[in-house]
A = this chain, B = another copy of it.
Amino acid sequence: MMARIGFIGLGRMGHAMSRQLIAAGHDVSVYDINPAAVQSLAALGAAGADSAAAAASGRDFVVTMLPNGPDVEETLFGAPAVAAAMGQDTLYIDMSTVAPEATDRIAARLKAQGIRMVDAPVGGTSEFAERGQLLILAGGEAADVAAAMPVFDAVGRETIHCGENGAGTRTKIVNNFMSTALNVLTAETLAFAEAAGLDVQRTVKVLAGTTAGKGFLTGAYARKIFAGDISAEFGLGLASKDLTLALIYAANLNVPLGVGAAASQVYQMAKAEGFGGNDWSAALETLRRRAALPEQSFS
């Protein structure tokens, strides 16, 4: 089914996504502040618009893929306003990565105008976008997410409905929080290995086969704290002892391990709270309490 789609924001990601939409046979009108980007897509069959509002007018779907939240808000509500150009039948899809507070403001403001919205930031680099293989993290009404599938199918390999409006944005932020921090933890670990005189690739092979490389989400946490059980599979106190041993050794080697040192403080708090003899996954409960989330009790 061919849809009429307005696409605003033709950077590296947006350009590739627009091309996928054109290739999928949709009727795509495009706009960017950079005229060259508009022209190159017009050459591929898009209708080049001379304003964001023009690109958004009379469309089934309007998609924005912009650098940040202020850009999105200015585009929607500035002059000429995209929000005013969209009709009641238009489904607005923001695929930018923005602050959750911005997504919430935008969704509320559009709702007051009777316009439906899906926040749908993407996972994956521009190379994934080139191949229509992005991961779509969608937030909004189930019916709206379902309605947006022609768009998502053209640009992504998988769409996950994360919850109500704002849940797509929040899931993206939480996901990238973990990946960007894990990058630094990985770098600290390998710099540490090298400073310790180890063969780095041999060490990588070891790490890849243990919890260090395989992670906790579908293994250690699933077996223990997600199952309501924090009896020790690997004791939190022992984990803390191993981490302290590592930090002392690294201090002797003059290797900065700021991420590891910060992690160590959570173990201290967890031990002070009485979790030393429990499973190391109880660190989650310590942090939940610190964030004022309701205390969980364990059998």
- Chain A residues engaging chain B, CB cutoff 8 angstroms: 97, 99-101, 123, 125, 127, 135, 137, 158, 160, 162-163, 166-167, 170-171, 173-199, 201-218, 220-221, 226, 233-234, 239-240, 242-269, 271-273, 280-281, 283-284, 286-288, 290-293
Contacts and interface: CB of A to CB of B under 8 A. Distances in A.
Contacts of A160: 202, 205-206
Contacts of A205: 160
Contacts of A259: 181, 185, 259, 262-263, 266
A73 to B, nearest CB: 12
Q: Name A's interface SS.
A: helix
A153 B9 CA distance: 51
A175 B218 contact: no
A267 B180 contact: yes
Contacts of A210: 123, 135, 175, 179
A193 to B, nearest CB: 5
A291 B254 contact: yes
Contacts of A158: 209
A198 B163 contact: yes
Contacts of A195: 291, 293
A216 B181 contact: no
A186 B214 CA distance: 12
A263 B181 CA distance: 5
A186 B215 contact: yes
A139 to B, nearest CB: 10
